[in-house]
Structures are given as structure tokens and as C-alpha cells.
């Protein structure tokens, strides 16, 4: 499907050079274009495209893509909502080692409604809610046409903003709790960057399993408020980094057991603090590097404390033929969201206001909720 | 047995304060002291003892220990040879988290000859060669009395200097090749500190399994000679650190496959070089920190390259009830040494010259072979 996306975008951009784009009129309702008796065409689509790698606010632009054929095994989906994740930004910046060739449509996850199906498609009907699962590139557009195997039908009772964002962040939290250390009820985990959505999901998913969380947050305006919000989600302990300028951070553990597992999405000193908390033989999993600082580890941490350092990248995990497993977990997570057991804040932004949402996602306007574009 | 050693040393040091030590006369042959019909006593023993932690050249001294009882399950061993390992130095310095309480006799491995056995001991006879296995503290003395379960009888055809040193360094190399990554013939490993005895053993043990080695050594006088020595042992590639100031160290790999496993005993930049060589999903095992610099790792190494960082400490491995497994491996390694398939340089030093051997082991006299005390 990546190849299809490329060819579509490629065609569109070639088209663009002839100034032959269909202009977008507000309120216009796209219609199903039928080219011939046997060919179903998608409506034309609006998409956020980047033609080169770089800062997303300078390399992305809104383009009109012409209709594409909905082949016999394809499903045409009218997107409902898609988030701007940090990984989307990194992908556009070109820092990811695996990336769709440019030009490409941005976005990697989202939720949409089936609009039309190819003649061989039986598993989907117009009106179904679907997500690309595993997620795949190109969700920042109004109509997406991909093979039916790409799509996963979901329960429409789940709030749309959770359906749009369930894979990249919540699934990362779930996998990291499952894949590295065998945790039991009564155990604890430690994490930095706890206010991130992954961090918030770790707190809630751990609590559902009876696992306590020790949460490290940055010192900044609003950290008291952040502490209360995390505690409301079920965090057992929340410390700002400055509180941890003590020789023995474990003295702050109270009755919590020393954690066997830690998560790091910050690097630098914040990663060292996670390591300090870990018990002998513990594992720290790095899944982000917000501070852009490396991780520094003493020799004795490895030899005498037997710490293990690992990494997690959802895209890599998903590439290992885990489609079925992935969809089962997504359904589990969506069920939790539907039942109010998994919560995080999102801000819905109309597609036309994409540049503002992007600025917020880039952190230009201070701390903001997860930006979710609605189409 | 640790408790026994403590009590013996404790008694001796108490004795010392009364100036009642038996003086040592060169050439004197100790004799078996029989206190009563039913009590076998060891000969008096000379030992290198430390009463407090600190630099070994200031806290160790030669003392005379009085005879101790050889109880019914004990074996009294006349030590033949014992090495001064870096781990012995670290243990005396007090940097090890697990250490015998002071006062203590130095040394952790060695080979000796059975001198007398307790009335219930059937597995050993005077004249047998034995090593403490797993190794245990107190080998730097002329007579060691420990329970029979401590001792492992070995093949007398193995050169004495290998029998004395087979556990701490060669077994570390063997375990590290076995315990972390499933290696097959045709694979490769990368290591820094390749001139260390562990490094030399890695080269030879890997080669026996058809595994290639990429070896990193420091830039210093004699590095060309070191390169040739390592190549003679079977090293496939040897690079000094300055040769690796290139953007893509893997371009130097030639036809060797990218290594899935790396060993680090240096830290700092030398550890980063090992990480650079590793293939995606590779593991670096830290077992030493000669540069006293920490290990610094980029976030992307964990997320996109999926590297894992682990540690190895032989003492910890041995503490996991591995007595039988340990002895089988020791026999395997001693067989290789006997057959000339496992080689490294040692220097035999008479016990009376311990201070010189210690200075050499401490690096005061430049690069020196492994110092092995003979009794």
C-alpha cells in the first residue's frame, strides 16, 4: 500500500505543476465518481503533503489530490479524525530510519468511515468505522483508499478522538508493560515524561493490573497541577526532578516496592533518575528522547546492579507480523476508552486549521493537549 | 566457609597484637601438627591480609596465621599458585558491593595440592591438585583449610599457571559468549580491551566455534606488537581506536558479518565504538570499566537500532547455584589449556616477592603479564 500512496501523491504533485488542481470550496460535498461501469473512483481528496524532509511547518502544504480508483479489494475511507503525534513530526523531519519516500501524505493513524468498497470486499460496508491497523502513512487527508487488509472495523461506541489516537500512544504503553519484564500485581514501575499520553496510559494500564507507578515530571510552571492530574489518573507517586536531588531516591519510595521496570522518553538526567530507582536486575526501556540528550550509564550499573537497557519502537514491533495481535489489543484499549477506564486530553481542530494545530503540536504555544484534526 | 576464614584471620590478628607470631624461616618445611588423637591441625600459614579497605599496596601485609583445625569434612590444601586479578584489587579497595568482611586474606582463585583431609573426606587424597570452585576468598596464603565441597579436583597435566587462573578470566569469556546471544558458526563479535586476558580468551574461544572477532585496542606504544599477538591467537580484525575515527566504522568490516554481540571492559569512547559496530538488535555486555568513564548511548541506538545493553559479573553468575555447571566448564577450559588451544601470558613470582608482583598488577611498572604468585 505504501507504493500505492506514493504513486497517488506522485501523480497529484505532477498534476500540481500544471496548475490543474481542483480548487476546494467550503461546504462542497464530494460525490462518488464513476468513470465506467466497472471502475469505482474515490472522491477527490484534500491532503497535507510534504515533498521534502524538514521542519513540518515549512515543508507541509495542503494539496488537492485527484480521484483514485477503488480497486476490487480496496476500501475507500472518509477520514473522521487523525492526530498529530510527535512521531509524525519526526517522520516529516526525516529523522526516522524507515520513512515513506517523499512526496508523501502526513499522518500515521486516525479513524474514518467507510465510504465505498471494491467489488470483492465483503468485510466492510459504507458507514463502518475503521482504523488503519497496523497504522500506515497518509491519514492526514479527507479520503484514503487502501486495500481492505489495511483496515480494522471498530466499535462505533468508542469516542471518536480515542479511536483516532488509540494505536501510537496507548498501544506503546501496553506493549512496554507486557514485553520486557514479567510484572505481577503488587509490583511497581518507574517512568519519566509521565505527563505524556504514553505516560498517562502507563499509569492507568498499570493500575488496572494492580501495578504501582512512580512518575517523574519536569519542574515547570504547572507542575503542581500536573501532579494532581496524574494522581487523579491513579499515579501512586509523582516527583518533579528537583525533588530527586537527594542521595538516595529510593528513600522516597515509602511502602512501594523497588521497580523492576522503568520507561524513559526524555534522556539525560531524567533517564539517570529512572536508573537510580530500578531494583537490581531491573530493565529500563527507552522509547523517546525529548531532551535530545543521550543516556549516560555507569559501569557499575551494569556489572553490580545488573541493569539492562533496551529500546522500544512501536513501528518495529508492528512490522513483525503482529496484525492479529495488534487488533486484539486495539479492541481491548478501545473498550477501556469507551468505559472511561483510559483517559487523556485531546483537542479537536478542524482540518482547515491544520497550521494552528501543527504549531501547537510543535510546542510553539506551550504545553497543549494532543492535537486531533477533524475532517 | 567465609565465616571460617574470618574467624581464623580474626584470631591471627588478635594473636598478632601479643607479638606471639611464629617467625618464618626460609626453607623450613611445615609439618602436620597433631593436637590430640582425634584432631588434625593444619600447618601454620603465611597469608597476605588486609585489615581495612584501601589501596592494596598500603593496606595489605604478610602475616603468619596459626594452625587451624582440619575438621572432619575439611580439606587442607597447600597452595601452589594464585593470581593477582584486577577483581582482587577492586575487592581490597572496597569498591565491590559484596565483599568479605575485614580482616580478610586476599586472593579469590588459585591452585593447590591436597595436604591433609578430615576423617570424613573420601573424594580427595594428599597430592591431588584442587582449585576452589566456585572461587572463594583467601587464596593468597600457603595453607588453606576449607570444607571439601569448596574444592574441585583437576587434571594435573594442565600447566599450573593455567590451573591457577582458569576461572576468573577464561570463564568470564566463555560465559559471555554463551549467555547473551545465540551465536552460530560464521557470526562475529566485537570487543574493546582485546589485549586483556578475557579479551584473548574471547578471541580463542570464539575461533573454536567458528566465530570471527573484531578487536579494538588502545593507541599506545607497542600497539603494533599487540595487534600481531592478537592475530596470532586468531583475531580476525584488530583496530586501534584512532583507526576508527571514520564516519562509518562498518566500512572497515570487509567480509565479516556485522556483530550481534559486543563486549565492553573500558567504557567511554571505547564503549561507543563497540556500539557503532553492532548490528541492529545487537547486545553489548559490559564487564569492566578500565577507563573509569561511563557509557553514553544515544536515544536512537535504543529506538531505531534496538540495541540492548547488559552487564556481566562472574561472581553474581557463580552465586546462582551453578557449582556443577561451573566445574564442567572449568574442566573444558583446562583441557583447552593443556592442549595448547587456550593461551595467555603469565609471570610467576615467588610469594616472598608479593609486593613487586602487586606493583606490577597495579600497573605501576607499565603493561605486564598476569602476575601469578607461587608458594
**Chain A contact present for B290, CB below 8 A:** no
Confidence category of residue B110, pLDDT binned at 50, 70, 90? very high
pLDDT of residue B275: 97
User: CA-based angle B215:B216:B220, to the nearest 5?
Assistant: 130
Predicted confidence (pLDDT) at residue B15 exceeds the cutoff of 50: no
Element (H, E) at A75: strand A74-83
Give per-residue pLDDT as tens, B256-303: 999 999 999 999 999 999 999 999 999 999 999 999 999 999 999 999
Active site residue B96: yes
Give per-residue pLDDT as tens, B137-191: 899 999 999 999 999 999 999 999 999 999 999 999 999 999 999 999 999 999 9
Q: What is the mean pLDDT of residues B212-232?
A: 93
**Chain A contact present for B312, CB below 8 A:** yes
Q: Do B306 and A313 touch (CB under 8 A)?
A: yes
C-alpha distance across the termini of chain A, in Å: 22
Between CA A107 and CA A89 the distance in angstroms is 9
Q: What is the mean pLDDT of residues B332-354?
A: 97
Give per-residue pLDDT as tens, A230-267: 999 999 999 998 888 877 888 888 889 999 999 999 99
Q: Which of B96, B108, B115, B332 is catalytic?
A: B96
Residues of A with CB below 8 A from B93's CB? Answer: none
- A238, β-bridge pairs: A215
Alpha helices in B18-148, H assignment, sequence order: 56-59, 86-93
- A372, β-bridge pairs: A83, A348
pLDDT of residue B3: 41
Torsion angles phi and psi, residue B332, rounded to 5: -60, -45
Predicted confidence (pLDDT) at residue A18 exceeds the cutoff of 90: no
Between CA A235 and CA A188 the distance in angstroms is 11
Q: Which of B305, B308, B313 sits opposite A304 (nearest CB)?
A: B313
Predicted confidence (pLDDT) at residue B13 exceeds the cutoff of 50: no
Tell me if the domain spanning B2-167+319-338+346-374 has CATH number 3.90.180.10: yes
**Chain A contact present for B221, CB below 8 A:** no
Q: Which of A159, A8, A1, A147 is nearest to A77 (CA)?
A: A147
pLDDT of residue A29: 53
Q: What is the mean pLDDT of residues B66-79?
A: 97
Q: Confirm or deny that A219 is annotated as ligand binding.
A: yes
Predicted confidence (pLDDT) at residue B39 exceeds the cutoff of 90: no
pLDDT of residue A56: 97
Architecture of domain A168-315: 3-Layer(aba) Sandwich (3.40)
Please give the sequence-ordered ranges of beta strands (E in DSSP) within chain B, or none if there are none: 33-36, 39-41, 45-50, 60-65, 69-70, 74-83, 104-105, 111-117, 129-132, 143-147, 151-153, 188-191, 212-217, 237-240, 261-264, 283-286, 295-297, 308-311, 346-350, 370-374
The percentage of residues in chain A with a pLDDT greater than 70, rounded to a whole number, is: 90
pLDDT of residue B4: 38
Give per-residue pLDDT as tens, A37-89: 568 999 999 999 999 999 999 999 999 999 999 999 999 999 999 999 999 99
Most confident among A219-228, B25-34, B230-239 (mean pLDDT):
B230-239
Confidence category of residue B246, pLDDT binned at 50, 70, 90? confident
| CA dihedral over A121, A123, A125, A130, signed as positive or negative | negative
C-alpha cell at A242: 528537583
Q: CA of A301: which chain B residue's CA is closest?
A: B311
Contact between B244 and B252 under an 8 Å Cβ cutoff? The reply is yes
Q: Which of A326, A12, A375, A347 is nearest to A170 (CA)?
A: A326
Between CA A134 and CA A88 the distance in angstroms is 15
* Domain residue ranges in chain A: 2-154+345-374, 168-315
Mutate: best of A93, A96, A283, A303, partner B, most B CBs <10 A: A303
Question: What is the CATH T-level fold of the domain A2-154+345-374, as seen in this structure?
Answer: Quinone Oxidoreductase; Chain A, domain 1 (3.90.180)
pLDDT of residue A1: 39
Q: Do B296 and A301 touch (CB under 8 A)?
A: no
CA distance A61 to chain B (A): 28
Q: Do B310 and A302 touch (CB under 8 A)?
A: yes
Question: B181-311, which class in CATH?
Answer: alpha beta
Q: Do A96 and B304 touch (CB under 8 A)?
A: yes
Burial class of residue B265, CB neighbours in 10 A (0-12, 13-18, 19+): buried
* Cβ contacts from A onto B, under 8 A: 99
Predicted complex ipTM: 0.87
CA distance B293 to chain A (A): 8
pLDDT of residue A25: 42
Q: What is the mean pLDDT of residues A135-154?
A: 95
pLDDT of residue B122: 94
Confidence category of residue A95, pLDDT binned at 50, 70, 90? confident
Q: Which residues of A160-171 are buried (b: 16+ CB within 10 A; e: fewer)?
A: bbbbbbbbbbbb
The percentage of residues in chain B with a pLDDT greater than 70, rounded to a whole number, is: 90
Give per-residue pLDDT as tens, A165-190: 999 999 999 999 999 999 999 999 99
Name the one residue in this structure whose C-alpha cell is 523492576.
A260
Element (H, E) at A374: strand A370-374
Q: Which residue has the higher pLDDT, B206 or A221?
A: B206
pLDDT of residue A247: 77
Predicted confidence (pLDDT) at residue B34 exceeds the cutoff of 70: no
Give per-residue pLDDT as tens, A320-348: 888 899 999 999 999 999 999 999 999 99
Q: Which of B81, B46, B77, B44 is nearest to B144 (CA)?
A: B77
Predicted confidence (pLDDT) at residue A318 exceeds the cutoff of 50: yes
- Say which range, A149-153, B27-31, B332-336, has the weakest mean pLDDT: B27-31
Q: What is the mean pLDDT of residues A103-111?
A: 96
Predicted confidence (pLDDT) at residue A12 exceeds the cutoff of 80: no
Confidence category of residue B244, pLDDT binned at 50, 70, 90? confident
Predicted confidence (pLDDT) at residue A206 exceeds the cutoff of 60: yes
Predicted confidence (pLDDT) at residue B79 exceeds the cutoff of 70: yes
Between CA B260 and CA B213 the distance in angstroms is 11
Amino acid at each position: 500500500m505504501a507504493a500505492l500512496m506514493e504513486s497517488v501523491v506522485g501523480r497529484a504533485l505532477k498534476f500540481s505543476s500544471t496548475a490543474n488542481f481542483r480548487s476546494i470550496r467550503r461546504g462542497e460535498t464530494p460525490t462518488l465518481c464513476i468513470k465506467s461501469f466497472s471502475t469505482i473512483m474515490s472522491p477527490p481528496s484534500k491532503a497535507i503533503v510534504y515533498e521534502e524532509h524538514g521542519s513540518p511547518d515549512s515543508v507541509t502544504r495542503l494539496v488537492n489530490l485527484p480521484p483514485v480508483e477503488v480497486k476490487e479489494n480496496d476500501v475507500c475511507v472518509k477520514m473522521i479524525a487523525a492526530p498529530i503525534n510527535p512521531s509524525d513530526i519526526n517522520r516529516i523531519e526525516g529523522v526516522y530510519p524507515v520513512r515513506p519516500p517523499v512526496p508523501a501524505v502526513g499522518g500515521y493513524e486516525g479513524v474514518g468511515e467507510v465510504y465505498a468498497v471494491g467489488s470483492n470486499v465483503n468485510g466492510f460496508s459504507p458507514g463502518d468505522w475503521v482504523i488503519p491497523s497496523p497504522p500506515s502513512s497518509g491519514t492526514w487527508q479527507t479520503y484514503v483508499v487502501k486495500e481492505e487488509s489495511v483496515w480494522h472495523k471498530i466499535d462505533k461506541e468508542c469516542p471518536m478522538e480515542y479511536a483516532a489516537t488509540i494505536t501510537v500512544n496507548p498501544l506503546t504503553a501496553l506493549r512496554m508493560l507486557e514485553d520486557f519484564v514479567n510484572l505481577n500485581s503488587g509490583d511497581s514501575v518507574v517512568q519519566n515524561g509521565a505527563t505524556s499520553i504514553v505516560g498517562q496510559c502507563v499509569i492507568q494500564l498499570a493500575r488496572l493490573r494492580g501495578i504501582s507507578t512512580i512518575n517523574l515530571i519536569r519542574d515547570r510552571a504547572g507542575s503542581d497541577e500536573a501532579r494532581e492530574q496524574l494522581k487523579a489518573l491513579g499515579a501512586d507517586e509523582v516527583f518533579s526532578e528537583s525533588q530527586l536531588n537527594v542521595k538516595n531516591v529510593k528513600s522516597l519510595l515509602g511502602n512501594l516496592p523497588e521497580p523492576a521496570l522503568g520507561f524513559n522518553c526524555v534522556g539525560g538526567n531524567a533517564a539517570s533518575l529512572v536508573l537510580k530507582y530500578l531494583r537490581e536486575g531491573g530493565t529500563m526501556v527507552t522509547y523517546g528522547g525529548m531532551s535530545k540528550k543521550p543516556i549516560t550509564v555507569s559501569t557499575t550499573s551494569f556489572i553490580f546492579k545488573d541493569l539492562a537497557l533496551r529500546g522500544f519502537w512501536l513501528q518495529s514491533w508492528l512490522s513483525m507480523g503482529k496484525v492479529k495481535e495488534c487488533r486484539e489489543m486495539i479492541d481491548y484499549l478501545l473498550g477501556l476508552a469507551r468505559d472511561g477506564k483510559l483517559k487523556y486530553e485531546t483537542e479537536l481542530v478542524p482540518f482547515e486549521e491544520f497550521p494552528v494545530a501543527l504549531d501547537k503540536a510543535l510546542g510553539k504555544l506551550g504545553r497543549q493537549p494532543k492535537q486531533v484534526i477533524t475532517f
